[in-house]
Amino acid sequence: RRVPQLPFAPTATPIHPEDGFEAVAVAPVLGWLPVPNAATYQVQVSRGADFREDALVDTADALFPYYVPGQNYVLGSQTPLPFGTYWWRVRAKDGGGAVLGDWSAPRHFNLSRELMTGNRFDYAAPARPSTLLSNDSTNTLYDPALSLVADGTAAAPATFDVGNLHLIQDRVNEGPSVYNYYWSLAFGVSSTVAEPVSYGIYFDIDHQIDKGAPGDPRNKQIETHPRYRPNYALYIDRSGDSLNAFFYTWNGTSWDYGVPLANIGGKVWYDPATTAVQALIPYTTLVNEWNAFAGSLAVTVFSLNASGARMDSVPQQGSVLDNPAFVSDMPMPLYPFDTPLDNPFVFREMPSLRWRMPAFDSNDGYQIEIARDADFTVVLERWETYESGTSSLYAPAPAGFHPMIAYADDESYYWRVRVRHEQYDDRDRNKYDTGPWSPPMRFKLTSYQVGNPTISSSANVATTPTFLWDRVEGAAGYTLQISKGSDMKSLLINKKIDGNSYTPPPTLEDGVYYWRVAMRRANDVYGQWSPVFSFTKRSLAPQPLAPINGTVVNQQPTFSWAAVITNSTDVNGLRLAAPRYRLQWANNPEFQNATAVETDTTAYSLAERRSLEDGPWYCRVAMLDGDGRPGDYSPAQSFYKEYLQPTLIYPAQGSTPNPLYFEWSPLAGAAHYRIEVADNPAFNRSRTTSTASTRFTPLDALTASEYYWRVQMVDYDGKLGPQIEGRFGGNPQQPNDDPAVYLPLIPSY
């Protein structure tokens, strides 16, 4: 998979983790924006925000814009970084070691020890009257080394000594089917006390500046760092082996009155065998839905003499309590790195979510949530894995998850994970504890645009084109949209496609079209749309062959044109693009009241009753697509249609025929002929006869001295051709005595 590339910045700029990140067991991966021309990046990690030389714990020249603290120990220690708060900053250097820009703004993270969870199947803590310091070899399900969170040092005088601090979460069996959940805390003390001693325990749950109490609940002169002000306090007063414990809560403005620990369900005792004090504090007393628990607990234990002076502490600290022991039961997210809101990198494929596998921790599995917001009010997916038995083995549980549903494109997503602990009641699998959620981690998801979107021909097409594009990794399919508008609001085609090409079955009418294509992660989850492309469909106009401009047609025309074909990507080579044609003709160039016919051939002869009168005519032809839509018409062709005049054969012009009959040449397209005879050139009172023959003999006697005659063809639709006139002398001899053929008369028009 391709890793998102970081943009460059003028100076090294931290991007992850966010300031105040809660890390568990190991330091987080530090990341920043790369700087142009940088060869290395100088990283400093310090226990103080001022980066004093004596506070530096790690410094390195990183080759990449990432670094994990603890790889180059200034103090020479080869052990992992201990718990506590760490500040870090970075700056770029060129190949010669010259600094490129200032130090980045410092950020800090809190590093916690892993907090164990007591469970009778996995991690069975010693029962009262023993303590967490017990090292009983017969209890194979408990190891005090795992519950140790801070080492104590000897104090003087010994009465006020505070030894090693152990802390776990413990599900304690206190009766049949009674399992109560406690914070179980124990620390070493002196076996004897020569005078009264008090042990104070401060709990900081949020690690925010000045969010806890600025002073002690008993008004002792104890100073704490503003970042670790206590939210809760437990005081244990010891006289000999007798203990009295009081619990205090900071309400935001003042300390509430101390409450005996027993009154809130807690317990405290001294164990002479382990010379330790142990307290059980109900779990929800410190962590509940109403407080701002950061996911880790910062704890300091100290001892006071009768006058209220602080004598010893664990962890060992100076006059100001500024180094509490951090413990956490959270799994630590590893990847993807937390993405700031300015999105220096985005994922184009759904990343797998990974976290650090906790150590032995009564771990039975994990719960995952993915949401649209950092508060997880809109959860998109939940996932859980666990083993069904009570085995202490949990390594097969995967410390990673890949979302099982498709996620929408161009969105922010947040994920978190928590530990699901072993069930504590073997009769009920649903009785189990969970740890706190890890910090929410954000990632931005977009997608690859389909590559090389194109059509099977140029942007000007004569037929509906085939749309093609490259395949995209992670695509479940694609969607093609075609619209008449560039805003893609009114869609003509909105097609889900499995492959990477598509030819729309419906043909498109001529015009300008817009299209785009996107990958789909699922049926209705779309990736990025491609840019909007346009193409123009303009059908090819047929090329007229006959009649063409300027011709005179002496009979009913036969219209013809060249077939429209276009190159095709089909394996068959050429494809007939026009299954049919539309032919129009009219007696005006505007084609008003035009006659139209459709044909699947490239020629058309006029049918009966459609013959053209003599005069000017116009014709044009267009191809029809598969849906019957016409393309562009060919240029209009003008022609003149005029039948020919018959040629007069007999009688000769001006002669006196004997015998008398009329004869003329035949004409193509003539259904019959119309002949007129009159004794005046105006053809008043003429005698009109129609005959199918080209010869006619009048039956009536012609007595005038001079006659005029004319003849014209008549086609099958009754359209008349031009007339031709003749003249002959009168009193001709009638061929009445000659044999004669009498033809039926055809009505004249």
**Do β-strands 116-118 and 511-522 pair in parallel, antiparallel, or remain unpaired?**
unpaired
Write out the CATH class of domain 648-729.
mainly beta
Q: Which residue has the higher pLDDT, 656 or 565?
A: 656
pLDDT above 70 (res 396): no
332-445 and 451-537 have identical folds: yes
How many other CB atoms are found less than 10 A from the CB of residue 337? 22
Q: What is the side-by-side order of every strand in the sheet holding 353-355?
A: 333-335, 353-355, 400-401
pLDDT above 50 (res 739): no
- Helix (H) or strand (E) holding 286, with range, is helix 283-286
Residues constituting the chain: 749
Count of alpha carbons within 13 Å of 563, Cβ hemisphere only? Answer: 10
Residue 617 in tokens? 């005519």
pLDDT above 50 (res 514): yes
pLDDT value of residue 103: 97
Residue 499 in tokens? 């492959």
pLDDT tier for residue 746 given thresholds of 50, 70 and 90: very low
pLDDT above 90 (res 646): yes
Q: Which of 292-301, 407-416, 622-631 has the lowest mean pLDDT?
A: 622-631
Tell me the per-residue pLDDT of 142-185, one tens digit each, with 9 for 90 and over: 999 999 999 998 777 889 999 999 999 999 999 888 999 999 99
> Residue range 287-307: average pLDDT?
90
pLDDT tier for residue 78 given thresholds of 50, 70 and 90: low
> Residue range 215-219: average pLDDT?
97
CA distances from 131 to 10, 135, 201, 280 (A): 56, 9, 17, 11
pLDDT value of residue 394: 63
> Residue range 2-9: average pLDDT?
76
pLDDT value of residue 212: 95
pLDDT tier for residue 573 given thresholds of 50, 70 and 90: very low
pLDDT above 80 (res 568): no
pLDDT above 60 (res 593): yes
* Residue 184 · residue 167 · CB < 8 Å: yes
Residue 107 in tokens? 């950020």
Residue 703 in tokens? 């007595």
Single out the residue of 97, 82, 84, 89 nearest to residue 67, CA to CA: 89
In sequence order, the β-bridge partners of residue 368 are 383, 417
> Residue range 397-404: average pLDDT?
89
> Residue range 243-252: average pLDDT?
96
pLDDT value of residue 345: 86
pLDDT value of residue 748: 45
pLDDT above 80 (res 507): no
What percentage of the chain carries pLDDT values higher than 70? 92
- For the domain 543-641, what is the CATH code? 2.60.40.10
pLDDT value of residue 693: 93
Tell me the per-residue pLDDT of 31-54, one tens digit each, with 9 for 90 and over: 999 999 999 999 999 999 999 999
Tell me the per-residue pLDDT of 477-503, one tens digit each, with 9 for 90 and over: 999 999 999 999 999 999 999 999 998
pLDDT above 80 (res 263): yes
Phi, psi (5° rounding) for residue 658? -155, 110
pLDDT above 60 (res 77): no
Fold of the domain spanning 451-537 = Immunoglobulin-like (2.60.40)
> Residue range 188-215: average pLDDT?
95
* Residue 84 · residue 298 · CB < 8 Å: no
Q: Which residue has the higher pLDDT, 203 or 631?
A: 203
Out of 471-475, 508-512, 598-602, give the one with best mean pLDDT: 598-602
- Structural domain boundaries in the chain: 13-113, 115-328, 332-445, 451-537, 543-641, 648-729
SS3 390: coil
Query: Rounded mean pLDDT of the chain?
Result: 89
- For the domain 13-113, what is the CATH code? 2.60.40.10
Q: Which residue has the higher pLDDT, 669 or 264?
A: 264
pLDDT value of residue 416: 97
Q: Which residue has the higher pLDDT, 726 or 732?
A: 726
Tell me the per-residue pLDDT of 101-156, one tens digit each, with 9 for 90 and over: 999 999 999 999 999 999 888 889 999 999 999 998 888 889 999 999 999 987 77
* End-to-end Cα spacing for the chain: 90
> Residue range 565-585: average pLDDT?
63
Separation of alpha carbons 467 and 495, rounded Å: 12
Count of alpha carbons within 13 Å of 589, Cβ hemisphere only? Answer: 6
* Residue 578 · residue 621 · CB < 8 Å: no
- Helix (H) or strand (E) holding 673, with range, is strand 672-678
Q: Which of 97-101, 153-157, 518-522 has the lowest mean pLDDT?
A: 153-157
pLDDT value of residue 571: 40
pLDDT value of residue 749: 41
pLDDT value of residue 528: 86
* Residue 415 · residue 433 · CB < 8 Å: no
pLDDT tier for residue 649 given thresholds of 50, 70 and 90: very high
Separation of alpha carbons 348 and 336, rounded Å: 13
pLDDT value of residue 268: 98
Tell me the per-residue pLDDT of 455-475, one tens digit each, with 9 for 90 and over: 887 666 667 789 999 998 878
pLDDT tier for residue 523 given thresholds of 50, 70 and 90: confident
pLDDT tier for residue 196 given thresholds of 50, 70 and 90: very high
* Residue 725 · residue 654 · CB < 8 Å: no
Separation of alpha carbons 392 and 141, rounded Å: 9
Separation of alpha carbons 368 and 354, rounded Å: 11
Q: Which residue has the higher pLDDT, 679 or 567?
A: 679
pLDDT value of residue 72: 61
- For the domain 332-445, what is the CATH code? 2.60.40.10
pLDDT above 80 (res 674): yes
Q: In which region does residue 265 sit, left (phi positive, over 0), alpha (psi from -120 to 50) or beta (all else)?
A: left
Separation of alpha carbons 66 and 53, rounded Å: 23
